[in-house]
Amino acid sequence: MQRALQPVRESAMAECFPFRRNWLAASVAAGALGFSAVAGLALAADEPAPRLPSGVPDFSSNNMGWASDGIEFFPVPGEKFVPITSDPAHPYCGNRILPKCGNQNLPPIGDTANPILQPWAAAEMKRTNAAILGGKEAFEAMGRCWPGGVPGMMLFTAEPAYFLQTPKEVTILYSRGPNIRHVYMNVPHSKNPAPSWLGESVGHYEGDELVIDTIGLNDKTFIDFYHTPHTTQLHVVERYKLINGGKRMQGIATIEDPGAFTTKWSALHYYIKHDLPIADSESICAENNDANYFNADQAPIPQTKTPDF
């Protein structure tokens, strides 16, 4: 599977909602709308957050899951370098912010002038942007039922994600897909892990934060929905923290990739609680997406020619 530009339907957000669960999409979008007014302006003020009996912060959601607040990264306040945002000449307007941007869907066109991009990365994004503006739609992993990579998975949790905390492992179950991340706690990385879609993640707690360090990522995914590319040298450190008394969660990703970026940079994202216990949450991306809807020239979803067994 190549990451090269391939025509795909519009938004990754829309792709993986099985039709019968549009209520879920609607409720997530509604929640996101309400919260987006404050998201990104400043890190939320801390209130006491719930903790597990062991004393570590309790991300396990109390019968709820965490849903992404939109699909964009925000700048981390005070940071010099910021994540890719919308090209000022082509402002993005998606379902989440439709009322604020004229109620007309406009595709994500990334700002290739962002100084974090190496020339080849900017050039690749320009090609992608041109294709999108020309009426095509670019490949997006999660939109076509491939894992979203890291930090991409941080953005595309429109359907709830669940943090399963045990002393040796934090397992993050993303209903959407589904996708599963295994974070091995308090151990070092292995030497030269083979590149994979979600990489190798190790973690630990630092005070109120769950810190996840990930390497060993393949280069088939994008950093974000602006199609920011990366290489297999990508190194991501995520810091998750409960805010507002555990009602919301913030995640800050620090991103290094000497193959794609000129500098280390950071990005902020927020999550809202979604009232759906894990036992009631199943969303199979391939359920409806194998068809080529509207005769769009879409990238194929994962499939076999010969059954595995």
Partner 1 sequence: MKDALSRKARLSTAIAVAAVAVLSWLYAAAPAGAAAPASDLSGMWWANSYSPSMKTYLVGGGDIPLNDAGKKKYAEIQAGLKDGSITDRSRKYCTPDGLPRSLATPYPFQIIDAPPGHISWVYEQNRMIRGIAMDKPLDSDEKLSVIPFWNGHSAGHWEGDTLVIESGGFNESTFADATGLPHSDQLKTTERVRKINGGKQLEDIITIHDPVYYARDWQARFVYDNHDGLRMMDYICGEPHRDISHIKGINEARAANAARAPAR
d(CA 284, CA 17): 9
Which range binds partner 1 by CB under 8 A, 41-49, 74-82, 129-137, 277-285?
277-285
The residue (of 295 and 304) whose beta carbon lies closer to partner 1 is 304
Of the pair 61, 85, the CB lying nearest partner 1 is at 61
Contacts of residue 130, Cβ cutoff 8 Å, sequence gap at least 6: none
Among 22, 54, 63, 292, binds partner 1 (CB under 8 A): 63
Q: Taking CB under 8 A as the criterion, which residues in 110-139 touch partner 1?
A: none
Task: Region of 297 please: left (phi>0), alpha (psi -120 to 50) or beta.
Answer: beta
| Residue 50 is a binding residue for partner 1 (CB under 8 A) | no
Closer residue to partner 1, CB minimum distance, 196 or 263: 196
Give residues with Cβ within 8 angstroms of 149, minimum separation 6: 141, 197, 198, 199, 217, 218, 220, 221, 222, 230
Cα separation, 73 vs 86, in Å, equals 11
* Of positions 180, 186, 244, 293, contacts partner 1 by CB under 8 A: 180
Q: Could you give the CA distance from residue 68 to residue 66 in angstroms, rounded to a whole number?
A: 7
Residues 226-245 that bind partner 1 (CB under 8 A): none
As measured in angstroms, the least distance from the Cβ of 251 to partner 1 is: 18
Complex with partner 1: residue 13 or 64, whichever CB lies closer: 64
Find, among 259, 150, 194, 219, the residue nearest to 2 by Cα. Answer: 219
Q: Which of the ranges 67-75, 110-118, 228-236, 274-282 carries the binding residues for partner 1, by CB under 8 A?
A: 274-282
Q: Which of 184, 208, 233, 264 binds partner 1 (CB under 8 A)?
A: 184
Binding mask 12-41 for partner 1 (x = CB under 8 A): --------xx--------------------
Least CB distance from residue 162 to partner 1, whole Å? 6
- Buried/exposed 108-126: b ≥16 CB within 10 Å, e otherwise: bbbbbebebbbeebbebbe
When asked if residue 177 is in the footprint of partner 1 (CB under 8 A), the reply is: yes
21 vs 90 by CB, closer to partner 1: 21
CA separation for the pair 125, 69 (Å, rounded):
24
Helices (H), the chain: 12-15, 22-36, 119-133, 152-155
User: Which of 143, 145, 135, 139 lies closest to 124, judged by CA?
Assistant: 139
Q: Which helix (H) or strand (E) holds 214?
A: strand 209-215
Binding residues for partner 1, rule: CB under 8 A, are 1, 20-21, 60-63, 146-147, 162-166, 169, 171, 173, 175, 177-180, 182, 184, 196-198, 277-282, 284, 286-287, 290, 301-309
